[in-house]
Structure 1
Amino acid sequence: MAQPNRAPVDEPYDYEALPPNFSVLQNMMAGAFAGIAEHTVMYPIDAIKTRMQILSPTSSAVYNGMMQAGLRMGTGEGLMSLWRGISSVAIGAGPAHAVHFVTYEFVKNRMGGNNSGFQPLAAAASGACAAITSDALMNPFDVVKQRMQMHNSRRMYNTMFDCARYIYRTEGVRAFYLSYPTTLMTTIPFNTLQFLFYETQCTWLHPQRGYAPWTHCICGAIAGGAAAVLTTPTDVVKTMLQTRGTATDPQLRGVSGFAEGAKLLLQREGYAGFFKGVRPRVITSMPSTAICWSAYEASKAYFIRRNETLA
């Protein structure tokens, strides 16, 4: 009987290849771990960003900067207000990121992104496809998270399930996906730019394309920060659409899409309004993206080495 082909002991494992070195299930596990790690570590800064982006808040909830916002939330509502809504992210991020990275690896592999040298088209396309699929799962959880991060949200609901039921009862299923097109307008450019910057820097800093922890961490941070700055305008409008259901302003409650939201934002706050919360968004994105890529690449390397050992 023919013996299965095995790589020599001293031959480095094929890190970039997917099958048979990295199964779909293992890919999903690595992606889920990366997603949960990314979102939970930097969650308080994300909560501050949401508060700063909300259009026309009441005078009791105006936030002029990150430190002031964090101090105001911590002293006025308790430190746990900075973590309010994290359960929604923890539950949604695992499945969403599992799909995210499976799609990323699949498209990248099919388009030749694992071939030697830099493959910009494969990197950009895999990032865009990953955003479309993962956001379809994550958008409802993100809406619940944003609602729970708002000022005085405790008066309306105590848990993510209370919040989800309230949204469904008062606004219907549509409320969970009203912001999805705008979310894609944020995440497709974000992921395309992030993956493009990440793959570019990894190729430049570590052309061997093997597992290099510090390279993945540094490249992830830079890629996440740059992509965050460039996509903040659509992120502000997305926040408006996801939180409009709690507004008392009839004009704000009537906003039904990106164009209307962008027009209203421009009328009330000018072009500067499109960059509200850019600082906390960058401060969130840089370490969280670094954590995400580091966790994913570490998990990927672990599974590939494990598979090679068992082969």
Structure 2
Amino acid sequence: MADEVDYEALPSNAGLGVNMIAGAMAGVTEHAVMFPIDSIKTRMQVFATSPAAVYTGIGNAFTRISSTEGMRALWRGVSSVILGAGPAHAVHFGTYEFVKDFAGGRAGGNQPLTTAMAGAAATIASDALMNPFDVIKQRMQVHQSEFRSVFTAMRVVYRNEGLAAFYVSYPTTLMMSVPFTAVQFTVYEQVKRLLNPRGEYSPSSHVIAGALAGGVAAGVTTPLDVAKTLLQTRGTSQDSELRRVRGMWDAFRIIWTRDGVRGFFRGMSPRMLTHMPSNALCWLSYEFFKVAIRE
């Protein structure tokens, strides 16, 4: 129809602000909805010394945590995500759209290299902002966490371990997030283009493309996520070797020594289960808010 609006091709002078607001809303929605599964993933990845903190699967973890600690334990740390995810996702999507436009990603046709570059740049920027919040989130998620408040956790971690504790995992996070985001954005754009070649607002295509993109990216990067969790939760461990872990390669050594190849895929099922619907919801929210804000 002649009066139909191409929501992805509206004037660029409104684009960056719209994309950042849409990204912030999408990020908070995504993380909050799937947070209990993310909590289970964190607990499955931690090298626990207590049998009470060892879980054999998602169902086992959900049943034991909810029956012994209550359902609220599965939401512990969500406030840290909400505080960080909005600004981080605003930066993420704003950077993504800016770099894609700058590199000529709107010129038409498949441009996977441009899309991957934009996704990688977006991740470097957003992770710098989000990393401390993610550290606090995982400190609050672990079995028998001493923390119930984000600000208390920040204060105690800073006092006991210094500023470095909030960024010890940042290189590992980038090593994971850059390929994760590059794969995610590339798969998303390719599947979306296949399902929705006219580029119209199509919730079903955004959901399917987002879910597939999230699942593929999550599965590929699980080994790095296990290492990241080990680094971010080191201060909660009673194991002296785990408390002294200093970086990604040190974490890999410990994982290999203690659990072999299997150790690198701890928590892969809940990680994929988290990212598939959360990515679908994130992209659906993002595309929706792009339309809603511009109207």
TM-score (norm 1): 0.92
Shift of 1:12: 3.2
Is the CA contact (8 Å cut-off) linking 2:76 and 2:148 kept in structure 1? no
CA contact (8 A) 2:16 2:97 kept: no
CA distance in 2, matches of 1:57, 1:96: 34
Q: 1:253: which partner in 2?
A: 243
| TM superposition shift of 1:27 | 1.7
Q: Matches of 1:157 and 1:232 in 2, distance apart?
A: 26
Q: Unpaired segments of 5 or more residues in structure 1?
A: 1-8, 307-311
Q: Deviations over 1:155-206 (max 9, x none)?
A: x222111111110010001000000000111111110000000011111111
Q: Which amino acid aligns with 1:249?
A: D
> Which portions of structure 1, spanning 4 or more consecutive aligned residues, are displaced by more than 4 angstroms?
none
CA–CA distance in structure 1, aligned partners of residues 112 and 17 of structure 2:
27
Counterparts of residues 198-213 of structure 1 (less than 5 Å)? 198-213=188-203
The CA distance in 2 between the partners of 1:76 and 1:216, in whole Å, is: 38
Residue among 219, 224, 229 paired with 1:234: 224
SS in 1 for 2:12: coil
- 1:265 partnered with 2:255: yes
Tell me the percent identity.
Answer: 53
1:294 aligns with 2:284: yes
Deviation at 1:21, TM superposition (A): 6.1
Mapped pair 1:106 → 2:117? no
Larger displacement relative to structure 2 (40-49 or 26-35) = 26-35
| Structure index of larger Rg | 1
Match of 2:87 in 1: 95
Quick one: distance in 1 between partners of 2:6 and 2:71? 46
Matches within 5 A, 1:131-142: 131-142=123-134
- 1:169 matched to 2:163? The reply is no
Inter-partner Cα distance in structure 2 for 1:69 and 1:42: 15
Find the aligned partners of 1:65 and 1:25 in 2 and give their Cα distance. 42
8 Å CA contact 2:49–2:238 kept in 1: the answer is no
**Contact 1:117/1:203 (8 A) holds in 2:** no
1:246 positional shift: 1.2
Q: Which residue of 1 aligns with 2:60?
A: 68
TM-score normalised by structure 2 residue count: 0.97
Structure 1 position 18, deviation (Å): 5.9
* Structure 2 CA distance for aligned equivalents of residues 11 and 111 of structure 1: 29
How many residue pairs end up in the alignment? 295
Q: For the residues of structure 1 that align with 2:255 and 2:15, how far apart are their CA atoms? A: 46
Give how far 1:57 is off: 3.5
**Offset at residue 20 of structure 1 (A):** 3.2
Task: Supply the AA of the counterpart residue of 2:16.
Answer: V
Root-mean-square deviation (Å): 1.3
